[in-house]
């Protein structure tokens, strides 16, 4: 688990802080980005084991960033994490490896991350 690098992308500073603390507590190395474009830039230059991506963000939204990153790094695992619950309708989100509804309870997110990393 040591040395597992996760990029957390969210436009809300406090959300970033929350996820960073929660995930670091789990033993991951956490990097942050505050919008899709920044995430894309970082993802291009670094190898992340996983990216946790919000959808609704300024500059470049999560879906777009997801698609851009997947174009460059086809196997980059990405979890979409958003306030929306009706992700199942949105076919453009299908290329993500998982989807988690944003919640104060981070258990589901952590579980999903673990599952994805284990598969790899």
Partner 1 sequence: MNPVEILGKIIEISHSNLEANSRISAILNIISQEMGFEEVIVFTYEKDKRLTSSYMNRKSTLFKIFSAYRCHIGEGIIGSVAQKRMPQSFTKRDVPLRLGCLFYPELDDHLERFKSFLFQPITDDSFLYGVLFLASASKELIQDHEKILTSIIAREIGGVLQVHKLHVSSKRKINELATLSELGKLLTSHVELPLLFQTIGLIVTKATEATFFTIRLEHKFLLNGPERFSYGDVEPFIKDYILKLENEVWIQKKTLSIRNIMPVLPEMLNGYAIYSTPIISRDGVIGTVTICGTKNRMGFTFEEDGQGLINNIANYITNGVENTILTSKLRELIKELNKAQKRAIEQEKLKSLGEMTANIAHEIKNPLVVIGGFANRLLKKAKLTHGESRYAEIIVKEVARLESILNVVLRFAKEDESAPCKPCNINACLDEIVYLFNADPGWEKVQIEKEYDCNLPPVVCDIEQVKQVIINIMLNAYEAMFGEGKIHIKTGRCEKEPDRFLTISITDTGGGIDPAIIDNIFNPFFTTKEKGTGLGLAISNKIINNLRGKIEIINKVGQGATFSVYLPLKNGDYKEELI
Name the site residues for partner 1 (rule: CB under 8 A).
Answer: 12, 14-15, 18, 21-22, 56, 83-86, 88-89, 101-106
Tell me which residue of 1, 7, 3 sits closest to 65, measured CA to CA.
Answer: 7
Question: Closer CB to partner 1, residue 15 or residue 73?
Answer: 15
Pairing of strands 98-101, 78-82: parallel
**Residue 68, beta-bridge partner list:** none
Structure tokens at 108: 């589901």
What is the C-alpha separation between 44 and 68, in angstroms, rounded? 10
Question: Closer CB to partner 1, residue 46 or residue 103?
Answer: 103
Min separation Cβ 71 and partner 1, Å: 24
Question: Closer CB to partner 1, residue 38 or residue 61?
Answer: 61
Min separation Cβ 30 and partner 1, Å: 14
Q: What is the DSSP string of 18-76?
A: HHHHHHHHTT-EEEEESSHHHHHHHHHHS--SEEEE-SS-SSS-HHHHHHHHHHH-TT-
């Amino acid at each position: 688990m040591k040395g597992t690098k996760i990029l957390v992308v969210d436009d809300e500073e406090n959300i970033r802080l929350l996820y960073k603390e929660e995930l670091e507590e789990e033993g991951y190395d956490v990097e942050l980005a505050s919008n899709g474009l920044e995430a894309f830039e970082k993802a291009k230059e670094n190898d992340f084991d996983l990216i946790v991506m919000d959808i609704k963000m300024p500059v470049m939204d999560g879906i777009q960033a997801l698609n851009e990153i997947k174009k460059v790094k086809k196997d980059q695992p990405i979890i979409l994490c958003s306030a929306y619950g009706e992700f199942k309708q949105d076919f453009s989100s299908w290329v993500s490896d998982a989807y988690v509804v944003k919640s104060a309870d981070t258990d589901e997110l952590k579980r999903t991350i673990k599952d994805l990393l284990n598969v790899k």
